[in-house]
């Protein structure tokens, strides 16, 4: 049985789109599931759209999310080079073969003539396609024009009246009429191939067995099938992935939100959450499970369970998955990540010690969705409150709150090195003696030490801050809070 070989072939035009990440991920999962090879190929033949440094950034992003390719620009294999601009002689060779066999031809049309043709077709409601005028040139005329260096392209010679059938792994049987297929340009006037020729030549020479790509390429597939046929090559299998959609079902675009993987990384999303989320954009398991690690995705993945319909990009679900993956991480890993966050915070010059941060991590674990929220959601662990939430004062600060807090401070002062249970024991004793609910003291106590009305368990809060700090904060609050 032939070894499975798949590829991810992005253009270095800026950033890695989340749709591109999904394509790369599905290719990677399919390869790993089938003990195959995952190839990275850089398609840089559109010279007008190249962005400086984009290749390096793309490779770095793929490595960050854990999509380790087996062959690529920086991992040479037997079928390189893996950058298309370094393979121009190959495209020229096969273009010349197509021409020699009558399956492609030189076209010398000027831009003005092509624009006139388009205008005429538009005006007369005709399908916009090339009119094959160049095929009327004699061999001698062609040779003369080439010898004179006249600008030209190479076009695919599509015969009319034929049907092209495709059995797509995801979409099933798809049929195309050649009458509506244009004579696609294969080699541009600058000598560079278009996507269509380059990708077919490369897929064949690189031994690609399965072409897994976005739905937007489905309409181009009949041209690719013709190229395989004209070159006498065996077809790979095709699988066209559903579109990614905004919640309003429009095509996912930067106008409605972030679409670059780098943007999500910068915002603090975990790579595990992003991979998990992207995997579910158009694919699901039979039991509708939602939380996966990479090794579990490899085990479960199949192209047969990829949906035909467009997939909604739901940011709320990504946020939920980020929180779930964050909670699963060991405390020591979170500690390392949190210390990195501190370096970019206003507390960069006074990062607490590890033991203190580990206590905060456990206390806040169920209350955060991003690592940065271990700082943003509980600043009271790192600095004393400078104010107190007025809404909480109005609702929770009662006539006896000052008296209860003074009592609490008095009893706390009598305990040496109090543990978490001691903070609770004092509060319970006071509540029982005064025959009041514990909340009567818990709420003003939390407000006094944190300045807010919500947070981790109040006994965790007090124990982490420590006896002296708690006493200091309560005494300060008693002088500042009145109702």
Owner of token pair 């099938």: 225
Tokens of 198: 């380059």
What 3-state DSSP class applies to 155? Answer: strand
Backbone φ, ψ for residue 410 (5° rounding): -60, -45
Give yes or no for a contact between 38 and 32, defined as CB atoms under 8 angstroms apart: yes
Q: Is residue 35 classed exposed, middle or buried when 0-12, 13-18 and 19+ CB atoms within 10 A define those classes?
A: exposed
Taking each continuous run of H as one helix and of E as one strand, the counts in the chain are 20, 11
Which ranges of 329-457 does DSSP label H, i.e. alpha helix?
331-343, 354-364, 373-376, 390-396, 401-413, 420-434, 439-450
Question: Beta 210-214 vs 237-241: how paired, if at all?
Answer: parallel
CA distance 71 to 26: 17
Q: Is residue 89 classed exposed, middle or buried when 0-12, 13-18 and 19+ CB atoms within 10 A define those classes?
A: exposed
Would you name the residues annotated as active-site residues?
254
Which ranges of 206-283 does DSSP label H, i.e. alpha helix?
221-231, 261-266, 271-279
């Amino acid at each position: 049985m032939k070894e499975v070989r798949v590829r991810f072939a992005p253009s270095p035009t800026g950033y890695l789109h989340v749709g591109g990440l999904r394509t790369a991920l599905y290719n990677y999962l399919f390869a790993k599931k089938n003990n195959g090879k995952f190839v990275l190929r850089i398609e840089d033949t559109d010279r007008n759209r190249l962005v400086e440094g984009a290749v390096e950034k793309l490779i770095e992003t793929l490595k960050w999310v854990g999509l380790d390719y087996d062959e690529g620009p920086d991992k040479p294999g037997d079928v390189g080079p893996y950058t298309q601009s370094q393979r121009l002689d190959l495209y020229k060779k096969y273009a010349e073969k197509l021409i020699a066999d009558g399956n492609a031809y030189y076209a010398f049309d000027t831009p003005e003539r092509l624009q006139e043709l388009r205008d005429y077709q538009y005006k007369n409601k005709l399908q916009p396609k090339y009119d094959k005028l160049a095929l009327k040139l004699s061999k001698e005329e062609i040779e003369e024009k080439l010898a004179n260096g006249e600008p030209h392209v190479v076009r695919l010679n599509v015969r009319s009246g034929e049907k092209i059938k495709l059995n797509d792994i995801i979409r099933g049987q798809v049929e195309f009429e050649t009458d509506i297929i244009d004579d696609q340009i294969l080699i541009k006037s600058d000598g560079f191939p278009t996507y269509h020729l380059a990708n077919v030549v490369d897929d064949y020479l690189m031994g690609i067995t399965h072409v897994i790509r976005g739905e937007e390429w489905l309409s181009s597939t009949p041209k690719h099938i013709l190229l395989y046929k004209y070159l006498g090559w065996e077809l790979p299998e095709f699988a066209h992935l559903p579109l990614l959609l905004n919640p309003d079902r429009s095509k996912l675009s930067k106008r409605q939100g972030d679409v670059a993987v780098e943007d999500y990384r910068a915002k603090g999303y975990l790579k595990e959450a992003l991979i998990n989320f992207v995997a579910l954009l158009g694919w699901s398991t039979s039991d509708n499970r939602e939380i996966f690690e990479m090794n579990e995705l490899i085990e479960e993945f199949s192209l047969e369970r990829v949906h035909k319909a467009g997939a909604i990009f739901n940011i709320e679900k990504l946020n939920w998955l980020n929180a779930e993956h964050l909670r699963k991480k060991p405390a020591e890993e979170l500690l390392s990540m949190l210390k990195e966050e501190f370096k970019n915070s206003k507390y960069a010059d006074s990062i607490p010690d590890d033991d203190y941060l580990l206590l905060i991590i456990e206390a806040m674990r169920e209350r955060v969705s991003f690592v940065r929220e271990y700082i943003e959601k509980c600043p009271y662990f790192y600095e004393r409150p400078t104010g107190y939430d007025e809404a909480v004062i109005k609702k929770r600060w009662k006539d006896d709150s000052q008296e209860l807090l003074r009592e609490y401070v008095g009893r706390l002062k009598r305990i040496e090195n109090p543990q978490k249970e001691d903070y609770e024991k004092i509060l319970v004793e006071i509540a029982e003696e005064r025959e009041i609910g514990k909340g009567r003291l818990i709420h003003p106590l939390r407000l006094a030490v944190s300045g807010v009305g919500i947070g981790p368990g109040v006994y965790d809060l007090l124990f982490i801050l420590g006896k002296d700090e708690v006493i200091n904060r309560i005494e300060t609050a008693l002088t500042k809070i009145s109702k």
